[in-house]
Amino acid sequence: MRQVAVVLVFVVVVLVSCGGFAFAQTKEEYYRTGYIYFSQRDYARALEAYRKALEMDPQFVDARYWLGKTLEQMGQLQEAVKEWRLVLLSYPRHWDAFQKWRAYAPSFVQDGAVVEKYRALFLEEESPVLSREEGWSTLAPLALVLLGRKDFSSLYLAAWCFRWAKEHLSPFFAPYEERALQGALENLTQDDWMQNPRLVYRFLQEVTLRFGGAEKWQEMLRKALNRAFAYTLGLPEEQGAEGVELTLHGGEVEKRIIRSGEVQEPTGFFLRE
C-alpha cells in the first residue's frame, strides 16, 4: 500500500512538472501546485499558480504571502512588498508577512518633504487621520528609516509614527515606538533644546509620565534632565547641572541646587508648563 502511495505522489509531481494546470480545479489545488513549483525553483510557474488561486479568492492569504515570496526570489522586491502589505492590511498579526515587509519596505520610501509633512501633522495633533494604506505604504516605512538615525528630531518623529502605527496598523509596532523614544532620549542635546524648547518639554513630559517609574529609564532620564538644566542654568553641556539634585514626581521634576553640601536654592521645574 505504501508503494502505491509513493507511486501516486511521484506521478502527480511528474504531471505537474510536465506542463500546465490541467489537474488544478480549486484555489487550494492551485496553491499546492504553486508550492511544488516554488520548491523546484520554477518561480515563473509558481507565480502563475498563486495568481490563479488569488483570481478565485483575492483574500486567500497564504497564496498571497507565497506570491510575495515568489516575487522576492525573482528579484521583484517592490512588487513583493505590495503583496505582503495586502496581507497585513487584512491580517495585521501575520508575523511572517510583517517580517518580510519590515525587511524591504524602508528601501522604497522617499523622505524629504514626507518627513516635514508628518512632522507638521503630529505637531498639530497627536493622532492625525490617515488611511491604513498610507500607513503601511509611507508612514511606517518612513518611521523605520528614521529609527536608524542618530538625531533627536528624527527619532522623536519616528516614535510618533510608530505610536500611530501600533494603534491603527498592527500591535507589532509597539516595541519600535519604545526604541525610538529611548533613542531620542539618548540623543537629546542642548542644540535641540535651544531650537525647540517647547518640543523638548513635551518630549520629556511624555517619557517621564510613561516610563519614569521604570528602572531602565531612570538613568537616561536623569542624564537628559541634567542636560536640560545645564542649558537653563547657562552651563556647558559637558558639565551638566553639576551640584543639582533632581527628583521625578510624575510630570513634575523637583530641582535643588546644592552648594557646600547643603541645599541652598530649592525650586521646581514643571514639565507640564
Give the pLDDT confidence score for residue 5 in this predicted structure: 41
| Total Cβ atoms within 10 A of residue 127 | 12
More confident residue, 243 or 35: 35
| Amino acid sitting at position 222 | R
Alpha helix (H) residue ranges in 126-173: 132-134, 140-147, 152-168
**Residue ranges per structural domain of the chain:** 21-108, 110-186, 188-273
Name the pTM for this structure: 0.77
Using alpha carbons, select from 247, 204, 249 the residue that is nearest to residue 227.
204
**C-alpha cell recorded at residue 209:** 509620565
Note the Cα 264 to chain centre separation in Å.
46
More confident residue, 224 or 130: 130
Report long-range pairs for 263-269 (Cβ below 8 Å, ≥24 apart).
269/229, 269/232
Which CATH architecture best describes the domain 21-108? Alpha Horseshoe (1.25)
Reported as a single tens digit per residue, the pLDDT across 177-215 is: 999 999 999 888 878 877 888 888 888 888 888 888 888
Reported as a single tens digit per residue, the pLDDT across 70-88 is: 999 999 999 999 999 999 9
Give the pLDDT confidence score for residue 219 in this predicted structure: 84
Q: Match 518561480 to its residue by C-alpha cell.
A: 43
Using alpha carbons, select from 61, 149, 49 the residue that is nearest to residue 98.
61
Kind and range of the H or E element at 44? helix 43-56
**C-alpha cell recorded at residue 171:** 500591535
Supply the DSSP symbol for 105.
Answer: G
Reported as a single tens digit per residue, the pLDDT across 102-155 is: 999 999 987 777 898 898 888 777 678 899 999 999 999 999 999 999 999 999
**C-alpha cell recorded at residue 234:** 547657562
Tell me if 174 sits within 8 A of 92, measured CB to CB.
Answer: no
**pLDDT tier at 254, thresholds 50, 70, 90:** low
Give the pLDDT confidence score for residue 134 in this predicted structure: 95
Using alpha carbons, select from 115, 197, 127 the residue that is nearest to residue 158.
115
Lowest-confidence segment of 12-16, 51-55, 65-69 by average pLDDT:
12-16
More confident residue, 97 or 269: 97
Reported as a single tens digit per residue, the pLDDT across 227-248 is: 766 666 665 555 444 455 555 5
Tell me if 91 sits within 8 A of 97, measured CB to CB.
Answer: yes
Q: What is the percentage of the chain residues whose pLDDT exceeds 70?
A: 74
Mean pLDDT of the chain: 81
Using alpha carbons, select from 113, 101, 96 the residue that is nearest to residue 165.
101
Supply the DSSP symbol for 139.
Answer: I
More confident residue, 2 or 173: 173
